[in-house]
Amino acid sequence: MKNIVLIGMSGVGKSVKGRFLAKNMGWRFLDTDKMISDEMGMTIEEIFEKYGEPYFREKEKEILRAAMSGENTVISTGGGIILDPENVKLMKEQGIVFFLHGSIDSIASNIESSSIARPLLAGDGELRDRIERLYRSREALYYSSCHMAIHLDGMTRSEFSRKIKDSYRKLLTC
């Protein structure tokens, strides 16, 4: 059985929806950002500040390999996981990859209501503008890195879970 891998922008809801999906399927749930944070004993923001993004990306690649080694696992990835072609190759070969996306406004709302710091979205100016710039710079990579894209706006966790399970079964038979 291939794992289910969730990719998409930070704040789109990969962890929340992924955790619900895994519970609903009776599968294990892994969040690569949480795995990195737990292993290093630091927040993602602290890792970026202390070691920089290149170090984080190498750690992310290592953690992804470990996460992908199991079966019956829903894996929520960090928003930038698709920046490394090796990560994309691994996810597509050993998993069914779903690109979760939503409107810029819904992502901004999720981030504003969250207590999680997102270093690549920090800075001056409107959060919505920073999200949109980052999303536009990655949009083509997200689409080329997935087996299927799912638009989340207005979708409940139950609807999401049903959609993923149905799509997963269909994609496994292709």
- The backbone region for 11, taken as left when phi is positive above 0, alpha when psi lies in -120 to 50, beta otherwise, is left
Q: Report the distance separating Cα 18 and Cα 30, nearest Å.
A: 9
For range 38-65, the mean pLDDT: 94
pLDDT in the model for residue 151 = 95
Give the phi and the psi of residue 28 in degrees, each rounded to 5.
-80, 150
Q: Cβ contacts of residue 158 below 8 Å, gap of 6+?
A: none
Give the phi and the psi of residue 163 in degrees, each rounded to 5.
-60, -45
Considering the domain 3-172 in this protein, what is its CATH number?
A: 3.40.50.300
Domain residue limits, the chain:
3-172
Radius of gyration of the chain (CA): 15
Going across the sheet that includes 148-151, the strands are 28-31, 73-76, 3-7, 95-101, 148-151
**pLDDT tens column, 94-150:** 999 999 999 998 888 877 766 565 555 556 567 788 888 889 999 999 999 999 999
Encoding tokens for residue 48? 């970026």
pLDDT in the model for residue 88 = 98
